[in-house]
Amino acid sequence: MSYDGLDVVHDAALTLRPGEVTALVGPNGSGKSTLLRTIARLQRARSATLTLDTDTDGLALTPREFSRYVALLTQGRPTPGGLTVRDVVEFGRYPYRGRFGRPDPDGPAAVDRALGLTGVADLAGRNAEQLSGGQLQRVWLASCLAQETGVLLLDEPTTYLDLRYQVELLDLIRDLADDHGIAVGVVLHDLDQAAAVADRITLLEAGRIVADGSPADVLTPERLTAVYGIRIDVDTDPLTGRLRTRPIGRHHTRSERLGTTS
């Protein structure tokens, strides 16, 4: 994959499986979002194959056909003006409508289901401009779910959300995989969030995949320290049993020399 003739991601292969969450992690500029956007066909690759279920060639489909298989929640979606929450979620039914207003008989039920899954059904009649950032993020996610695809791609979905909405969104991502069999690919900057939500983690550095596997296999202190260029310790949270990462900065190191904690 390239921008302005400069290769950004090289020789990357990614498999998203039904019922699993795959988290893409890595430093800024490592190619996480580029890889995700290429899978969603928003970014062109010099050479690529894209195989969907039943051996469908994803690159041979029209955009409308492709959007019945794959939905993408991009970063920084705008606040829609003059539209209700239901109006916004109905955008997700675009793949099922014809050019000349062909009826979408399954649309209302799909929209209701998406509103319910994301916990915004009680906001359906509200003006979308009146919502908080966390609520609006859920509404855009509901729009993706209304597409009723088997693959859901999320590009840094927890960015700008407060702690509560981050946790609730990660829980919802886990539910979509566990309860609905959706194949989820999500770009995350927070390594602890990735360890908590993902079945598999794909670690990128300088446009290449350097590790792919379970959180325990990928998130090792040696590998993370090498990739991020800062000492990162890894241990297990005694409360949850999940992996926990701890970047060690200069002041942390000073405290250790003095025999104190910070």
Q: Write the DSSP symbol of residue 198.
A: -
CA distances from 106 to 73, 88, 97, 146, 183 (A): 22, 17, 10, 10, 22
- Write down the mean pLDDT value for the chain: 89
Pick from 185, 224, 258: which is nearest to 20 by CA? Answer: 185
Which residue range forms the structural domain that includes residue 249?
2-257
Tokens for 253, please give them.
């190191």
**Separation CA 79–CA 64 (nearest Å):** 24
Please report which residue ranges of 40-105 form alpha helices under DSSP H: 63-66, 85-90
Kindly report the CATH number assigned to the domain that includes residue 131.
3.40.50.300
* Amino acid sitting at position 260: T
pLDDT of residue 16 exceeding 90, the answer is yes
Give the end-to-end CA distance of the chain in Å, rounded to a whole number: 42
Whether 194 is covered by a domain: the verdict is yes
Whether 262 is covered by a domain: the verdict is no
Domains identified in the chain, total number: 1
CA atoms within 13 A on the CB side of 93: 21
* Tens-place pLDDT, residues 58-84: 989 999 999 999 999 998 788 888 999
CA distances from 79 to 58, 75, 88 (A): 30, 12, 10
Q: Look at residue 45 in the predicted model and tell me its pLDDT.
A: 77
Whether 56 is covered by a domain: the verdict is yes
* Tens-place pLDDT, residues 176-221: 999 999 999 999 999 999 999 999 999 999 999 999 999 999 999 9
pLDDT of residue 3 exceeding 50, the answer is no
pLDDT of residue 26 exceeding 90, the answer is yes
Q: Tally the residues of the chain.
A: 262
Q: Look at residue 92 in the predicted model and tell me its pLDDT.
A: 95
Stronger pLDDT, 186 or 160, i.e. the higher one: 186
User: pTM of the full predicted structure?
Assistant: 0.89
pLDDT of residue 5 exceeding 70, the answer is no
Mean pLDDT of 233-254: 87
Mean pLDDT of 84-103: 87
Q: Look at residue 99 in the predicted model and tell me its pLDDT.
A: 67
